[in-house]
């Protein structure tokens, strides 16, 4: 991780003069309490509902009459209408538009460019208001806190706007200032959105199990957490610590002495947004290497760390120059929307990917039960062939054919015939995954996230670098009777080797040997020996098949080819 010098510290006199005033507790989302609060103020909610219904109804008429027009000029006007409607309705609706801007498979290409402006190209609020917020929050005017502070923000987003300022020691920083009256605006609109969602849910083509109300509550809770910049500072430092050993991921350093509940100051990142392939190439950046970094970092967050960035849209990810082991360098910003996943869910998700690799749909159905997508009382017998049809058909002969849009479309059909539901705790996880895939597809329409997810999980299993991965590996390659399942081991090796021409197998061989003969591989060695002498006889056929598989996969010629390709890509 590349950080600048230690955080800016004002001298003692300035610190004493600019003591940050004590701050009130952060507002929290309370659906029932907020509903009572708004109902007691009819002068607020009646006028707001009229505005919301009028704006959305007018937009719906525009979409119904013009969305299918082949005229590019008409499509541009429709896109601008969507943008102005959502931005005019305020922060909650802008957040919906931001999510749509990452889904090129859901939104017309002609509309995407306009929707991406919702990420950080919104109208700013008055500069004098921002200066007043900074002074109220940090206890001094900007000319005493910064050596240089501009008159206009460099970006304005749904919850705040960002200035590029310079500290006394010459370092450049990003200063994010929150929009005024945000708690009031969000309380009002979340109550209205929740009410409209619950009332309209029976008429919508949805079967979410937990209902729209629970999903909106999850969204509201996260949104209120996002407007406490002290929490965001904590999130950024935690995220940076997790990626401290990964030079391909940069996290801006927080300037704690210049941050508070409504002001956040961090290291300035000089990079190119992960938004436009041609712009990346014009800056001599490799989109493919950057996509791989983004996807692998996302998988690490979900399946290793259990703590993830839930809003990886192009405005929050920047491409930097440099590469590490074939991975491009990426910087994350904006840590307001973060979430955690339990260790149990994390391990179950890892196992689900492995079961998908092996087309073990019975085990995958049990994974869905463990994750809460199926009730423990559900009859799995008719569900297993349905999963095989949906997921097996989507995978086809090649994992590259798999994409989440196709799967979610098919699952939405299955939910009417089978007792699937979407647990509320997975709302942000699903958002993060589909946003990551959408961002990658924006840069490369042929990209499939599973092409990277498969080899990543397979490599982790074969390395057995943690006790949980070793346990999962034993579960995968040995059946209930302790017999070796060579086909599954071969599937894992095929997936790892299939990463691309010239892939280096040497690290896989090294990690496998370390596991097999090292101190931590005692369980694997014991299970392997027991499988070879099961039923009171030595299974020489299994031993020969295992040695043959390893010999073919890790032949000297193939290992040397991978090493050569690492140093000379033209040799692949």
**Enzyme catalytic residues:** 311
553: which residues sit within 8 A by CB, 6+ positions away? 493, 497, 505
Dist. CA 525–CA 536, nearest whole Å: 18
Q: How many CA atoms lie within 13 A of 169 on its CB side?
A: 12
Residue 520 phi/psi, 5-degree rounding, is: -80, -5
345: which residues sit within 8 A by CB, 6+ positions away? 371, 425
Q: How far, CA to CA in Å, does 447 sit from each of 174, 250, 314, 393, 397? A: 32, 24, 16, 18, 17
Tokens 């921002």 sit at which residue? 130
Dist. CA 314–CA 200, nearest whole Å: 31
Q: How far is Cα of residue 417 from the mean position of the Cα atoms in its chain?
A: 30
Residue 339 phi/psi, 5-degree rounding, is: -155, 165
Dist. CA 459–CA 457, nearest whole Å: 5
Q: Which of 445, 391, 502 is nearest to 103 (CA)?
A: 445
Dist. CA 17–CA 96, nearest whole Å: 42
Taking only Cα atoms into account, the Rg of the chain, rounded to an integer number of angstroms, comes to 26
Helices 31-39 and 42-66, axial angle in degrees (round to 10) = 110
3-state secondary structure of 79: helix
Q: How far, CA to CA in Å, does 80 sit from each of 85, 86, 90, 111, 117? A: 8, 10, 16, 8, 10
Number of Cβ atoms within 10 Å of the Cβ of 445: 11
Q: Which of 101, 111, 109, 105 is nearest to 62 (CA)?
A: 111
Sign of the CA dihedral 284, 288, 289, 295? positive
Dist. CA 227–CA 261, nearest whole Å: 8
Q: Which of 320, 319, 295 is nearest to 308 (CA)?
A: 295
Burial class (CB in 10 A: 0-12, 13-18, 19+), 89: buried
> What tokens appear for 402 in the block?
């798999």
Phi/psi zone of residue 289: left (φ > 0), alpha (ψ -120 to 50 degrees), beta?
A: alpha
Dist. CA 199–CA 196, nearest whole Å: 5
> What tokens appear for 62 in the block?
């525009």
* 265 contacts 173 by C-beta, under 8 angstroms: yes
């Amino acid at each position: 991780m590349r950080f600048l010098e230690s955080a800016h510290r004002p001298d003692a006199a300035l610190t004493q003069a600019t003591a940050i005033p004590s701050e009130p507790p952060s507002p929290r989302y309370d659906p029932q309490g907020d509903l009572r609060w708004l109902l007691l103020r009819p002068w607020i909610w009646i006028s707001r509902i009229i505005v919301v219904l009028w704006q959305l109804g007018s937009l719906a008429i525009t979409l119904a009459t013009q969305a299918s027009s082949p005229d590019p000029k008409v499509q541009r006007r429709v896109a601008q209408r969507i943008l102005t409607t959502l931005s005019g309705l305020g922060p909650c609706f802008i957040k919906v538009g931001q999510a749509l801007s990452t889904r090129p498979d859901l939104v017309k290409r002609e509309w995407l460019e306009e929707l991406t402006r919702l990420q950080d190209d919104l109208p700013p609020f008055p500069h004098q208001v921002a200066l007043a917020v900074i002074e109220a929050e940090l206890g001094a005017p900007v000319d005493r806190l910064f050596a240089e502070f501009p008159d206009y923000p460099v970006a304005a987003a749904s919850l705040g706007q960002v200035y590029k300022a310079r500290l006394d020691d010459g370092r450049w920083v990003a200063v994010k200032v929150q929009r005024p009256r945000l708690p009031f605006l969000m309380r009002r609109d979340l109550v209205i959105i929740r009410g409209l969602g619950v009332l309209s849910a029976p008429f919508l083509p949805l079967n979410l199990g937990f209902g729209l109300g629970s999903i909106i509550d999850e969204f509201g809770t996260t949104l209120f957490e996002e407007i406490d910049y002290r929490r965001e500072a904590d999130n950024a430092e935690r995220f940076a610590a997790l990626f401290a050993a990964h030079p391909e991921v940069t996290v801006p350093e927080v300037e704690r002495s210049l941050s508070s509940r409504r002001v956040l100051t961090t290291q300035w990142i000089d990079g190119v947004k992960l938004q436009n392939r041609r712009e990346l190439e014009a800056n001599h950046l490799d989109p493919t290497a950057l996509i791989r970094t983004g996807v692998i970092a996302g998988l690490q967050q979900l399946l290793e760390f259990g703590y993830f960035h839930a809003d990886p849209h192009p405005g929050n990810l920047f491409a930097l120059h440099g590469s590490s082991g074939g991975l491009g360098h990426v910087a994350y910003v904006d840590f307001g929307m973060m979430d955690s996943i339990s260790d149990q869910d994390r391990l179950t998700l890892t196992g689900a990917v492995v079961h998908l690799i092996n087309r073990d749909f019975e085990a995958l159905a049990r994974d869905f039960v463990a994750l809460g997508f199926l009730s423990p009382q559900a009859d799995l017998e008719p569900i297993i062939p349905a999963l095989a049809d949906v997921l097996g058909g989507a995978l086809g002969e090649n994992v590259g054919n798999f994409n989440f849009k196709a799967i979610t479309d098919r699952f939405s059909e299955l939910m009417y015939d089978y007792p699937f539901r979407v647990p509320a705790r997975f709302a942000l996880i699903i958002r993060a995954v589909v946003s990551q895939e959408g961002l990658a597809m924006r840069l490369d329409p042929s990209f499939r996230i599973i092409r990277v997810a498969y080899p990543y999980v397979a490599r982790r299993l074969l390395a057995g670098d943690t006790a949980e991965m070793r346990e999962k590996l034993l579960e995968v390659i040995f059946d209930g009777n302790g017999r070796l399942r060579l086909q599954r081991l071969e599937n894992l090796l095929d997936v790892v080797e299939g990463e691309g021409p010239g892939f280096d197998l040497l690290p896989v061989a090294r990690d496998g040997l370390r596991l097999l003969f090292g101190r931590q591989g005692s369980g694997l060695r014991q299970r392997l020996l027991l499988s070879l002498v099961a039923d009171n006889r030595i299974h020489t056929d299994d031993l020969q098949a295992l040695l043959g598989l390893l010999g073919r996969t890790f032949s000297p010629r193939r290992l040397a080819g991978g090493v050569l390709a690492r140093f000379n890509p033209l040799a692949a």
